[in-house]
Chains A and B, each alone.
Chain A
Amino acid sequence: MSKQFQFKLVLLGESAVGKSSLVLRFVKDQFDDYRESTIGAAFLTQTVTLEDQTTVKFEIWDTAGQERYKSLAPMYYRNANCAVVVYDITQSTSLDKAKTWIRELQRQADPNIVIALCGNKTDLAARRQVSQEEAQKYAEEEGLMWGETSAKTGEGVSEIFTAIAKKLPLTAPAPKTTARGAPGSSGRGVDLNKQPTAGQNDACNC
């Protein structure tokens, strides 16, 4: 019998780094050159099937990037099982912003949250400002997963979500009706005791 899990995932990062585009590529395998800016947050779901037929369903909260909307972010990451913090490889300031988000998650979010740092827009590698080495080194120091993607070409997108799915504690069966904090689920399918310890580096290197 195949196992099913459900996790809450939140996307964070500076404005226009491609958070919504990553989700659109992951969920619908589409890309818009000009995607309307996200107001508040957008909710989507997508399921990943792993090699052993385990299915992982992500409840995705794609948040707004503008600083003004930061005050709403805690309700989206509060009970998140995993977070994808996105930066734009052509904008070094966006990595600084990503680091700010990561510090906030480390301080405020569930201590067992799985965090992936994601450098988007590899299709614009000619204008790269953030080297792979720099980002990877930072991710290693902080014990984060790390990968690069292009929402435009699709490169690395499913890989990073699949890597997150594998990293999540897929041990307890998913009870259907667990109480959870609003909005979104918390703890379904999560065995907190089996959570890998922080400090491990599982860069997916896609």
Chain B
Amino acid sequence: MHNVNVAAVPYSPPKSTRDSAASHHSSPGSTRTSRPSSQQRRSEQSNGIPQIVTPPRRSSSRPSSSYNDDASTPRTHASPRTSSPRPTSQALLTPETTPLTPPKPSASPKSRSKSPVSSPESHRSFAPSEGEDAESFHVRSTYAQLDMTGVKGDGYEEGVERTRARIGMSRTSELRAEAALADENEKARELTPKEVETLASLDRYGFFSIPSHDRLILLPASPLQKPFTRLSSVSTGGPAQAASLTSVPPPRTPAKELSRIAKWNRMLEPLKRDVGANVELWTVRHNKEHKLRERTYKGVPDRWRAAAWELFTARYSKTGKREMEKWAEEYRENLDKASSYDVQIDLDVPRTISGHIMFRTRYGSGQRSLFHVLHSFSLRCEDCGYCQGMGPIAATLLCYFDPERAYSCLVRLHDAYAMHAIFQPGFPGLLEAIYVQERIMQQMMPGVYEAFKKHMISTTSYATKWYITLFANSVPFQTQLRLWDVFLLEGYDIFVVVAISIVWVYRDHITSSSASFETVLSLLSSFFVPEDDDALLSWIGKVLDDKKLRANMQQWRQEWKQLVATGQDSTALL
């Protein structure tokens, strides 16, 4: 079928109602967010628990509902959990009678056969893996067990802590933990008025609260109207401070969203369908290829984002369905393995975009998915393991993909988008990006570069988190998504240019005669709220389109590698 209108894509409820944020974020009014994870649903279906019918989505033309379908992960191997006995809440909570509880430190972690549920087909996470310490096993098995039972009030309740800070079980905490487990009624019951109110208050990306930030400042649009040209003069008369804001404004519906959706409908076509004719992969129609870049800079319509990100990362990494299947399998296999990073990951999971409804409830489906993706990914690269900063990246991906795809996407970022060098010990990719940023500043904004020098401000002191989290906690979520649209299409260079755009916008504050170490650093450590995302993206697009600058960037990257090779890198940065 050519000229496919996504509205015509078949829609199969049991699969597409999965609570992967891929479908829920753009329909925040949906109750889907409170539903257990796909694995869980499968296991519960096998237990004969009736399926909840999800309310109709707001729009019928939604590519990602079928796009995001998990047909590529057949149920037979998708979840050994389906065949494992569903643990009772008692099993989860009584230390002496359950394999869930980590063995006492003195006990051998290899006493796997003693576990009553560690039959060959249901061994997942119920017994320690080789070399796994008691604490890590406790963390990993708790997430695995809760994947089967679910937790009560997922999306609304705070939830009960079970692993973080190695909480011991007192009788009171045992009772609280037991009470927080979901039961069959959880899925069948009506929503309470409070839950309805919560859902209605979500912004279009699924946030119920925007976290407070220490310093919130406006990123004005007017400097971005000027092209990026070399500045020979320096302004010193301006104020050192930028305009501050008291709160992050709620995201607006992007301009012309409906007409853009229609354009994307015409621009992309299905590349691969599963047996149920659901679209698995998309491609760009040949005669529309020339529109792709411009339209991406204007912002991928949110309902097309999952499809577009998948398409962009496949193209950029030159990988496809075969690799995806391999990675999905690897993701699931890694779930059973021990990771020395589990305790650290567990510390970070509940504090990662916790203002988003999917990640709100302790051990809710979103937190479990995040844990699983980070756990499996920590085993992928021996050098990188798990690095703080991966959390917000994986969480953002989980807003659009199911865990297997989020994992695959992380693998692509690691392998093809140079993120390996970003996360590696010593952060070589970070330092390289900073070197390139400094060369651009020196060449194009020499006065600003001198001001940094004068105030002794090293670029690492403000830009580290930009480059490691890909701006996840430095700009509003909707701005972050716009930056990622371009990043996934064109690669890591964009983040150097985003850094440059911020310095460009605030250049007069940085060179102000009343500026100091403190004012400049406070300014650049802020959370930036762009006055106009389109102006920002358009400016970035023009800079990245500058062939000469891009060639220079390449050359500076080589230069940096040379400096590292000859041991001259330690003095090469501000």
Given contacts A28-B214, A66-B388, contact A72 B351 (CB under 8 A): no
Given contacts A36-B352, A37-B348, contact A27 B392 (CB under 8 A): no
- A76 to chain B: closest CB distance in Å? 8
Report chain B residues within 8 Å CB of A148.
none
Question: Which one of B61-69, B70-78, B161-169, B549-557 is at the interface?
Answer: B161-169
- B269 to chain A: closest CB distance in Å? 39
Q: Does A197 contact B (CB under 8 A)?
A: no
Q: How far is the CA of A42 from the CA of B167 in the complex (A)?
A: 29
For B165, give its contact among A66, A91, A183 (CB under 8 Å).
Answer: A91
Tell whether, in the assembled complex, residue B465 and residue A40 are in contact, meaning their CB atoms are under 8 Å apart: yes
For B457, give its contact among A42, A64, A71, A183 (CB under 8 Å).
Answer: A183
Q: How far is the CA of A64 from the CA of B574 in the complex (A)?
A: 21
Find the residue from B166, B427, B518 having the highest chain A CB count within 10 A.
Answer: B518
For B456, give its contact among A44, A68, A71, A182 (CB under 8 Å).
Answer: A182
Q: How far is the CA of A19 from the CA of B344 in the complex (A)?
A: 16
Tell whether, in the assembled complex, residue B468 and residue A72 are in contact, meaning their CB atoms are under 8 Å apart: no
Report chain B residues within 8 Å CB of A59.
517-518
Report chain B residues within 8 Å CB of A69.
388
Q: Does B460 contact A (CB under 8 A)?
A: yes
Residue-wise, chain A 26-68 has the 8 Å CB interface mask toward B (1 for contact) of 0110101011111111111100000000000001000011101
- B247 to chain A: closest CB distance in Å? 14
- B354 to chain A: closest CB distance in Å? 4
Q: How far is the CA of A42 from the CA of B466 in the complex (A)?
A: 12
Within 8 A of A (CB), among B212-228: 212, 214
Q: How far is the CA of A164 from the CA of B574 in the complex (A)?
A: 30
- B296 to chain A: closest CB distance in Å? 27
- A129 to chain B: closest CB distance in Å? 9
Q: Does B473 contact A (CB under 8 A)?
A: yes
- A194 to chain B: closest CB distance in Å? 24
Q: Residue on B with the closest CB to A76? A: B461
Tell whether, in the assembled complex, residue A34 and residue B521 are in contact, meaning their CB atoms are under 8 Å apart: no
Tell whether, in the assembled complex, residue A16 and residue B347 are in contact, meaning their CB atoms are under 8 Å apart: yes
Given contacts A32-B212, A71-B425, A184-B517, contact A42 B525 (CB under 8 A): yes
Q: Does B211 contact A (CB under 8 A)?
A: yes
- B477 to chain A: closest CB distance in Å? 13
Residue-wise, chain B 223-237 has the 8 Å CB interface mask toward A (1 for contact) of 000000000000000
Q: Does B29 contact A (CB under 8 A)?
A: no
Tell whether, in the assembled complex, residue B167 and residue A37 are in contact, meaning their CB atoms are under 8 Å apart: no
Q: How far is the CA of A43 from the CA of B458 in the complex (A)?
A: 12
Report chain A residues within 8 Å CB of B352.
36-37
Tell whether, in the assembled complex, residue A68 and residue B457 are in contact, meaning their CB atoms are under 8 Å apart: no
Given contacts A39-B389, A43-B521, contact A182 B464 (CB under 8 A): no
Q: How far is the CA of A122 from the CA of B518 in the complex (A)?
A: 32
Q: Does B522 contact A (CB under 8 A)?
A: yes
Main secondary structure of the interface of A (DSSP, over half): loop
Q: Does B301 contact A (CB under 8 A)?
A: no
Tell whether, in the assembled complex, residue A71 and residue B521 are in contact, meaning their CB atoms are under 8 Å apart: no
Tell whether, in the assembled complex, residue A75 and residue B388 are in contact, meaning their CB atoms are under 8 Å apart: no
Q: Residue on A with the closest CB to B167? A: A127
Within 8 A of A (CB), among B493-518: 517-518
Q: Residue on B with the closest CB to A70? A: B425
Report chain A residues within 8 Å CB of B354.
34
Q: Does B270 contact A (CB under 8 A)?
A: no
Tell whether, in the assembled complex, residue B212 and residue A40 are in contact, meaning their CB atoms are under 8 Å apart: no
Q: Residue on B with the closest CB to A179? A: B456
Q: Does B150 contact A (CB under 8 A)?
A: no
Report chain A residues within 8 Å CB of B426.
71
Given contacts A16-B347, A34-B350, A59-B518, contact A43 B525 (CB under 8 A): yes
Within 8 A of A (CB), among B338-359: 344, 347-348, 350-354
- A119 to chain B: closest CB distance in Å? 14
Q: Does B387 contact A (CB under 8 A)?
A: yes
- B186 to chain A: closest CB distance in Å? 23
Q: Residue on B with the closest CB to A180? A: B456
Report chain B residues within 8 Å CB of A44.
214, 522
Tell whether, in the assembled complex, residue A75 and residue B351 are in contact, meaning their CB atoms are under 8 Å apart: no
Known: A16-B347, A43-B521, A182-B457. 8 other contacts (CB 8 A): A27-B214, A36-B353, A39-B464, A43-B462, A64-B388, A66-B387, A72-B427, A127-B165
Residue positions of B touching A, CB distance < 8 A: 164-168, 211-212, 214, 344, 347-348, 350-354, 387-389, 391-392, 423, 425-427, 456-458, 460-462, 464-465, 468-469, 473, 517-518, 521-522, 525, 574
Can you name 15 A-B residue pairings with CB atoms under 8 Å? A16-B164, A16-B347, A34-B350, A36-B353, A36-B473, A37-B347, A37-B391, A41-B464, A43-B461, A43-B522, A65-B388, A69-B388, A124-B165, A180-B456, A183-B521
